[in-house]
């Protein structure tokens, strides 16, 4: 019987009458039934499948099916809580249209095939392309949702087997700027701090981050610190008012791209008023300057190499001279006195300062620079490496850190901070992989955007896409969508559901997901988390790891994966050799079975909360205090970079007068291939809307929920508008969430990228807005 | 039923968890034995607490019933098909317009086409601003099942509220169970709530824990807070 609300209320009232008359008995019976319902459920631990926060969940399995999930009370990240996506984890794998059989394109339709047929075809296409056009004509595009094993196997096969660096993760679209800045500032990827800083600090600068929606459970930790401690201040800096702004103590809106000027303005005041920590700078910092006017990568085969030059503190001081608060006000729109106020807060000796950021910084045509400039403030004031005061780059995928970055599934990287253009690194990698060093090409492959351009040009002909949906998420989509269907291209997509990428494929391979396989993810705070396989994948779906190894065997590279016993354990122990003794040390495989993750470096079973910090990081010797020991080239010091303000690739003009930014909402994740299959989440947020400032809407005669056409030089979408909703862009800006597969919103975005990190700028392009 | 730590919450509310569960268990039994579905339909229309959510601008229920000519033009005018016409189960209210928010709520059209279409004034033509509509008031009827109140980051009702930060606000408080997170509790403010029902529609629970009910009458006193 379907219970309507009214009937329910009445029933409750009616039932109250019975309550006195011996209902205890019935209550007891129901309790027994509830217990019986729980019987037969076995619970296992796993990290959540969604964002980079890395909440722990308990997965309840009965009769080979996930019947329940709940937050893991023992998980230190979330202590039993979840966001609304995590709450519905048990449903994400059971959408009705789950892919269960390999599919091969025949003209305009897909026909079911056996694995043998499908993999035979894939291998034949790889072989043919490699024979005819060389190993650089094939590529794999993976993800920060790859398990460590999947990413590792893909990197080993492509770099060590096929002999091409044509491997990229979608993390290039989201974390690459953070990576580039970690490397050029500290000589090692990933943060020094951890989530404990959210409780231990008292001042939090959030730059271009809507933590309230994109990192939900972490945000509730931050807010709790504020509730406990009236000293705590949250300062939100951005171009759109969000749910994060609502909870912040202060909102500092600035014009898009001018965070570069604002950060330099804050540094200017710190240096001008001598608010810096002179001792810290003397002992731990050197100054550098790089190339300027560095372009936007809009042309194919764009090349850029930075030329860092050492400079002195005096030269740096000179460099900052133009960024007076008044000048910064002119560029950014932030009042001069606010610039001074921010500088005072950053440098206040009594304040424990943290900087947190996400896509506003990373998806930025000067993403590496803006990351550098944030580190500058911490390095000038010495607020780094100590409990409660750190810069923390938040991540958006469950294993952007653990797989994409640590395993190094980028075209220029190798495991554990190593790179392909370093002969020693290639040597070390080859020896662990058991391949000749000459096998790994010294030249980095194309980065993600260039990879899709190469597909369009025909330099890449065969591409395998695993665990990601680039033909919805890439910027300037239409060029790349067309490229995928060009003659002579062959696209393989492994996924669990039909997506906007599978529709362009030649072969679709049904994958196992999450607890349908064994896995390891690594979250934002360097926490490595393991889970066991708990259920079988549906139909004939297979683990991506199995798929990759299958291709390896068919291409004659099976010897790379001749493991005895558990493949996962063998891969882990092999991979672990890369990390041992490097400051990125991982523990033996079995260690992770019992714990709710450990933060590396793990030495003698002990995790590290704060890297580079004496008493916390075992690599820092007694008496050193803070030591950036990974930056050997700079004598164990970190770098303060002189980086200027430069305008974005495309700014609003007469024809396209608005800024466009795309991003996330709490209810959906990435392209909603999983969350879109959960009816409750779909009902909660069914489709994308465009957020417009009410003043702009009024001027254009647009009312709430009117259909609006948003057009850029690259595409157009029509969708309803929302005024005064959960997000409110500043005047002259509009915002659209990119999850909606019926609206390819990223088609509007320009594929300009940061020349250093090669990460595209999804947050800034010019559009016009009309009533549709 | 296993006792959960969150149960401490229940003590603060008038409806206890236990009573609630019992009610849920007993009701179908009671209804079944007293005439099943048919009596259920009767109860729905004639019970003292019966409440039909009327389109924006509707007068107080008895006045509305007196002036509505049951022409159905408001239903025709609604671009979302949210306005339905009541059938026989509504008793005396047969043929009058109503909204079932869980199916389709009122989206508060800026130009209020339903009000404009009403020929009888049953939907008050003086209502110009949809935010001034007072169809009912959203109430969290089931705190124990509200994921936000249990500390999860849900707040779907809040983020979808067309009067976000006015009709629904978030009142964060410390979560003593984890010791380091905050509970983001949605709180409805009856003076601002239009009763549009978007919160009820979007609630992620199988049975919505936030529902639109008849706005309780204002009770006067002399405190100015």
HEC readout, B173-212: EEECCCCCEEEEEEEECCCCCCCCCHHHHHCCCCCCCEEE
B159 and B122, same domain (yes or no): no
Domain of residue B103: give its range: 50-133
Do A103-173+404-599 and A658-771 have matching folds? no
Last residue in a domain, options B77, B99, B133: B133
**Mean pLDDT, each 10-residue run in order, chain A (772 residues):** 42 40 46 69 97 98 96 97 97 97 97 98 98 98 98 98 98 97 98 98 98 98 97 98 98 98 98 98 98 97 95 98 98 98 98 98 98 98 97 97 98 98 98 97 98 98 98 97 97 98 98 98 98 98 98 98 97 98 98 97 97 98 97 96 98 98 97 97 97 98 97 98 96 97 96 98 98 94
**DSSP string of A479-537?**
HHHHHHTSTT-EEEEEESS--TTGGG-SEEEEB--GGGS-EEEE-TTSEEEEE---SPP
Cα radius of gyration (chain B): 19
Contact call for A79 and B180, based on CB within 8 A: yes
B27 vs chain A: nearest CA distance in angstroms? 5
Asked, for residue B28, whether it belongs to a domain, the answer is: no
Residue A396 among the catalytic residues: yes
For the purposes of burial, counting CB atoms within 10 Å of the CB of A572, is it exposed (0-12), middle (13-18) or buried (19 or more)?
buried
Cα–Cα distance list, A463 to A132, A185, B133 (Å): 15, 34, 56
Asked, for residue B12, whether it belongs to a domain, the answer is: no
CATH code for the domain of B175: 3.30.70.3270
- pLDDT at position A33 is 61
- pLDDT at position B97 is 97
Asked, for residue B174, whether it belongs to a domain, the answer is: yes
Alpha helices (H) along chain B: 8-11, 17-33, 36-46, 61-67, 73-77, 113-117, 156-160, 198-202
Q: Which long-range contacts link A70-76 to residues 24+ away (Cβ below 8 Å)?
A: A71/B152, A72/A45, A72/A596, A74/A45, A74/A596, A75/A45, A75/A596, A75/A597, A76/A195, A76/A596, A76/A597
- pLDDT at position A704 is 95
B126 and B140, same domain (yes or no): no
B161 and B121, same domain (yes or no): no
A216 vs chain B: nearest CA distance in angstroms? 6
Q: Which of A12, A13, A83, A232 to mutate to test the interface with B (most CBs of B within 10 A)?
A: A12
Tell me the C-alpha distance between A369 and A408, whole Å.
22
Asked, for residue B25, whether it belongs to a domain, the answer is: no
Closest partner CB to A15 (pick from B23, B164, B205)? B23
Say yes or no: A227 contacts chain B, CB-CB below 8 A: yes
Say yes or no: A698 contacts chain B, CB-CB below 8 A: no
B63 vs chain A: nearest CA distance in angstroms? 22
- pLDDT at position A32 is 63
B177 and B112, same domain (yes or no): no
> Per residue in B59-71, pLDDT tens?
999 999 999 999 9
Residue B1 has pLDDT above 80, yes or no: no
B157 and B91, same domain (yes or no): no
- pLDDT at position A694 is 97
Closest partner CB to A14 (pick from B31, B156, B174)? B31
B contact residues 105-164, partner A, Cβ 8 Å cutoff: 107-111, 141, 147, 151-156, 159-160, 162, 164
Say yes or no: A109 contacts chain B, CB-CB below 8 A: no
Q: Number of Cβ pairs closer than 8 Å across A and B?
A: 182
Q: Domain A658-771 classified CATH 2.40.40.20?
A: yes
- pLDDT at position A156 is 98
Q: Where are the beta strands (DSSP E) in A326-476?
A: 353-357, 391-393, 413-414, 418-419, 462-466
Q: Is-contact A540 A116, C-beta < 8 A?
A: no
Last residue in a domain, options B133, B153, B185: B133
Angle at A110 between CA A109 and CA A112, to 5 degrees: 145
Tell me the C-alpha distance between B140 and B209, whole Å.
6
Contact call for A5 and B151, based on CB within 8 A: no
Global pTM? 0.91
Cα–Cα distance list, A763 to A145, A227, A366, A721, A731 (Å): 23, 32, 12, 18, 15
- pLDDT at position B219 is 87
The domain tally of chain B equals 2
Asked, for residue B41, whether it belongs to a domain, the answer is: no
Asked, for residue B94, whether it belongs to a domain, the answer is: yes
Asked, for residue B115, whether it belongs to a domain, the answer is: yes
Name the pLDDT band for B187 (thresholds 50, 70, 90).
Answer: very high
B115 and B185, same domain (yes or no): no
Tell me the C-alpha distance between A137 and A135, whole Å.
5
CATH T-level fold of A176-397+627-642: Dimethylsulfoxide Reductase; domain 2 (3.40.228)
Residue A520: asked if its preceding bond is cis (omega within 30°), the reply is no
CATH code for the domain of B74: 3.30.70
Q: Which of B23, B80, B142 to mutate to test the interface with A (most CBs of A within 10 A)?
A: B23
Last residue in a domain, options B71, B101, B133: B133
Closest partner CB to A26 (pick from B22, B160, B174)? B22
* Residue the block writes with tokens 């086409």: B113
- pLDDT at position A38 is 75
Contact call for B172 and A223, based on CB within 8 A: yes
B70 vs chain A: nearest CA distance in angstroms? 23
Name B68's Cβ contacts closer than 8 Å, sequence gap at least 6: B58, B96, B97, B120, B122
A648 vs chain B: nearest CA distance in angstroms? 32
Query: Among candidates A523, A517, A526, which has minimal Cα distance to A567?
Result: A517
- pLDDT at position B5 is 45
Tell me the C-alpha distance between A464 and A445, whole Å.
15
Query: Among candidates A556, A608, A544, A555, which has minimal Cα distance to A582?
Result: A608
B162 and B205, same domain (yes or no): yes
Contact call for A10 and B175, based on CB within 8 A: no
Cα–Cα distance list, A391 to A203, A221, A326, A638, A713 (Å): 11, 17, 27, 13, 36
CB count in 10 Å sphere of residue A686: 14
User: Domain extents for chain A?
Assistant: 103-173+404-599, 176-397+627-642, 658-771
* Residue the block writes with tokens 């910084």: A361
ipTM of the complex: 0.93
- Domain range A103-173+404-599, CATH architecture: 3-Layer(aba) Sandwich (3.40)
**Contacts with A18 from chain B: Cβ below 8 Å:** 22, 26, 30
Q: Which of A359, A534, A749, A765 is catalytic?
A: A359
Name the pLDDT band for B2 (thresholds 50, 70, 90).
Answer: very low
Contact call for A683 and B1, based on CB within 8 A: no
B129 and B141, same domain (yes or no): no
Distance of CA A379 to the CA centre of its chain: 25
Closest partner CB to A10 (pick from B44, B152, B175)? B44
CB count in 10 Å sphere of residue A67: 15
Residue B26 has pLDDT above 70, yes or no: no
**Contacts with B110 from chain A: Cβ below 8 Å:** 703-705
Asked, for residue B79, whether it belongs to a domain, the answer is: yes
B122 and B141, same domain (yes or no): no
**Contacts with A86 from chain B: Cβ below 8 Å:** 152
Q: Is-contact B174 A224, C-beta < 8 A?
A: yes
């Amino acid at each position: 019987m379907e219970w309507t609300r009214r009937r329910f209320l009445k029933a409750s009232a009616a039932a109250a009458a019975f309550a006195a008359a011996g209902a205890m008995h019935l209550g007891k019976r129901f309790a027994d039934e509830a217990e019986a319902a729980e019987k037969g459920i076995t619970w296992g631990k796993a990290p959540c499948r969604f964002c980079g926060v890395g909440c722990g969940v308990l997965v309840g399995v009965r009769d080979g099916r996930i019947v329940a999930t709940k937050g893991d009370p023992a998980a230190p990240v979330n202590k039993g809580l979840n966001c609304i996506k995590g709450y519905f984890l048990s449903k994400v794998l059971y959408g009705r249209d789950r892919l269960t059989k390999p599919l091969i394109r025949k003209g305009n339709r897909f026909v079911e095939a056996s694995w043998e047929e499908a993999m035979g075809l894939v291998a034949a296409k790889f072989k043919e392309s490699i024979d005819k056009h060389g190993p650089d004509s094939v590529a794999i595009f993976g993800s920060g949702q790859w398990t460590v094993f999947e990413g590792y196997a893909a990197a080993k096969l492509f770099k060590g087997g096929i002999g091409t660096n044509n491997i990229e993760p979608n993390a290039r679209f989201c974390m690459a700027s953070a990576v580039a800045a970690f490397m050029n500032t500290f000589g090692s990827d990933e943060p020094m701090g951890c989530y404990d800083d959210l409780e231990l600090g008292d001042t939090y600068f959030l730059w271009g981050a809507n933590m309230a929606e994109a990192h939900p459970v972490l945000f509730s930790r931050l807010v709790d610190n504020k509730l406990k401690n009236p000293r705590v201040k949250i300062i939100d800096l951005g171009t759109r008012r969000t749910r994060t702004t609502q909870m912040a103590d202060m909102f500092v809106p600035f014009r898009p791209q001018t965070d570069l000027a604002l950060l330099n303005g804050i540094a200017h005041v710190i240096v001008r008023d001598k608010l810096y920590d002179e001792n810290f700078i003397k002992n731990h910092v050197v100054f550098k300057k790089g190339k300027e006017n560095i372009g936007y990568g809009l042309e194919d085969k764009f090349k850029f190499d930075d030329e860092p030059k050492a400079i002195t503190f005096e030269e740096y001081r000179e460099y900052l001279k133009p960024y007076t608060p008044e000048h910064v006000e002119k560029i950014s729109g932030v009042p001069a006195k606010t610039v001074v106020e921010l500088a005072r807060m950053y440098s206040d000796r009594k304040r424990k300062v943290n900087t947190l950021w996400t896509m506003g910084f990373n998806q930025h045509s000067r993403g590496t620079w803006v990351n550098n400039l944030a580190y500058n403030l911490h390095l000038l004031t010495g607020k780094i490496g100590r409990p409660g005061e750190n810069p923390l780059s938040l991540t958006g995928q469950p294993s952007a850190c653990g797989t994409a970055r640590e395993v190094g599934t980028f075209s220029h990287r190798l495991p554990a901070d190593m790179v392909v253009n370093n002969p020693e690194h290639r040597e070390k990698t080859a020896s662990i992989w058991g391949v000749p060093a000459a096998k790994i090409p010294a030249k980095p492959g194309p980065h993600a955007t260039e990879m899709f351009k190469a597909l369009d040009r025909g330099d890449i002909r065969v591409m395998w896409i695993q665990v990601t949906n680039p033909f919805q998420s890439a910027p300037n989509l239409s060029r790349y969508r067309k490229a995928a269907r060009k003659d002579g291209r062959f696209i393989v997509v492994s996924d669990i559901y039909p997506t906007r990428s599978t529709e362009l494929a030649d072969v679709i391979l049904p994958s196992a997901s999450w607890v349908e396989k064994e896995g390891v993810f690594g979250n934002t705070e360097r926490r490595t988390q393991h889970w066991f396989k708990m259920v079988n994948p549906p139909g004939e779906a297979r683990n991506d790891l199995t798929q990759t190894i299958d291709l390896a065997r068919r291409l004659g590279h099976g010897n790379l994966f001749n493991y005895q016993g558990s493949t996962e354990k063998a891969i882990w122990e092999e991979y672990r050799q890369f990390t041992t003794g490097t400051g990125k040390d991982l523990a033996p495989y079995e260690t992770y079975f019992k714990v709710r993750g450990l933060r590396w470096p793990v030495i003698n079973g002990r995790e590290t909360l704060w890297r580079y910090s004496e008493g916390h990081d075992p690599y820092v010797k007694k008496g050193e205090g803070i030591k950036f020991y990974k930056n050997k080239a700079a004598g164990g010091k970190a770098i303060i970079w002189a980086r200027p303000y430069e305008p974005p690739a495309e700014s609003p003009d007469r024809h396209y007068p608005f800024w466009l930014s795309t991003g996330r909402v709490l209810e959906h994740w990435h392209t909603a291939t999983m969350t879109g299959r959960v009816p409750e989440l779909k009902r909660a947020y069914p489709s994308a809307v465009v957020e417009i400032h009410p003043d702009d809407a009024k001027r254009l005669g647009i009312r709430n929920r009117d259909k609006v056409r948003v057009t850029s030089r690259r595409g157009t979408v029509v969708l309803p508008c929302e005024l005064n909703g959960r997000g409110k862009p500043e005047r002259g800006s509009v915002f659209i969430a990119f999850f909606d597969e019926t609206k390819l919103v990223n088609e509007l975005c320009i594929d300009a990228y940061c020349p250093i990190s090669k990460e595209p700028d999804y947050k800034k392009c010019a559009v016009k807005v009309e009533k549709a | 039923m296993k006792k959960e730590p969150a149960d401490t919450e229940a003590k603060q509310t008038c409806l206890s968890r236990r009573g609630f569960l019992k009610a849920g268990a007993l009701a179908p039994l009671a209804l079944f034995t007293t005439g099943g579905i048919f009596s259920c339909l009767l109860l729905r229309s004639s019970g003292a607490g019966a409440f039909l959510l009327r389109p924006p601008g509707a007068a107080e229920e008895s006045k509305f019933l007196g002036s509505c000519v049951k022409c159905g033009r408001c239903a025709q005018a609604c671009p979302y098909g949210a306005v339905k016409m009541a059938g026989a189960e509504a008793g005396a209210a047969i043929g009058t317009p109503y909204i079932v928010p869980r199916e389709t709520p009122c989206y508060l059209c800026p130009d209020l086409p339903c009000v404009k279409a009403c020929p009888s004034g049953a939907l008050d033509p003086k209502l110009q601003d949809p935010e001034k509509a007072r169809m009912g008031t959203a109430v969290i009827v089931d705190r124990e099942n509200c994921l936000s109140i249990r500390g999860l980051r849900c707040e779907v009702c809040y983020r979808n509220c067309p009067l976000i930060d006015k009709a629904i606000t978030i009142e964060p408080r410390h979560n003593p169970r984890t010791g380091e997170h905050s509970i983001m509790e949605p709180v409805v403010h009856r003076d601002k709530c239009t009763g549009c029902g978007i919160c009820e529609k979007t609630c992620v629970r199988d049975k919505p824990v936030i529902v639109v009910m008849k706005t309780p009458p204002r009770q006067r006193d002399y405190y100015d807070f």
